Amino acid sequence: MENEAGALSRVAGLFSARGYNIESLTVAPTEDATLSRMTIVTRGSDEVIEQITKQLNKLVDTVRVVDLSDGGHIERELMLVKVRAEGLLREEMKRMSDIFRGRIIDVTDKTYTIEITGAGHKLDAFLNALDKSAILETVRTGASGIGRGDRILKS
């Protein structure tokens, strides 16, 4: 999208006005500072996805829309999890983080903060694998996606 004030609210407004569901939305400027790139995760029948694509394209600030799930693609999401890390849990948390290729990026004598990246389902799996009562706080970015191989999105 054009990196214009209000572009984000046009997209968010479109989804709420037309009753489409938004699971996550990430946005940041690209290497070309006049453009920003948004990854939206949504769900709907083929007809609904077709309408969403058309409606997004119709926004004057939209440069291009692709449905990444039409072809091979990679998606990644970043999550930070603050967990209890006392007593027996301290070792357990370190081990779980290693298994999921997380990194402990902040440590206190009572807590760890683990950074973990992957597709959404991997982050879900990590949370499921932890003892619920050990999770103090989580924050997720929502997915960013890109096409596989030579597939690129250009204006």
- Tell me: does residue 1 bind other proteins (CB under 8 A): yes
60 binding other proteins? (CB under 8 A): yes
Q: Return the number of the residue (7 or 81) whose C-beta is nearest other proteins.
A: 7
Q: How far is the CB of 150 from other proteins (least distance, A)?
A: 23
> Does 33 participate in binding other proteins (rule CB under 8 A)?
no
One of 8, 22, 27, 63 touching other proteins (CB under 8 A): 63
Q: List own/partner pairs for 108-111 with CB under 8 A and 24 or more apart.
A: 110/84, 110/85, 110/86, 111/82, 111/83, 111/84, 111/85, 111/136
Distance CA(93)–CA(107), nearest Å, equals 12
Alpha-carbon dihedral 137, 143, 148, 150, rounded to 10 degrees = -120
Residue 65 Cβ vs other proteins, minimum distance, rounded to whole Å: 11
Residues in contact with other proteins by the rule CB under 8 A: 1-2, 5-6, 9-10, 13, 17, 47, 50-51, 54-55, 57-58, 60-63, 155
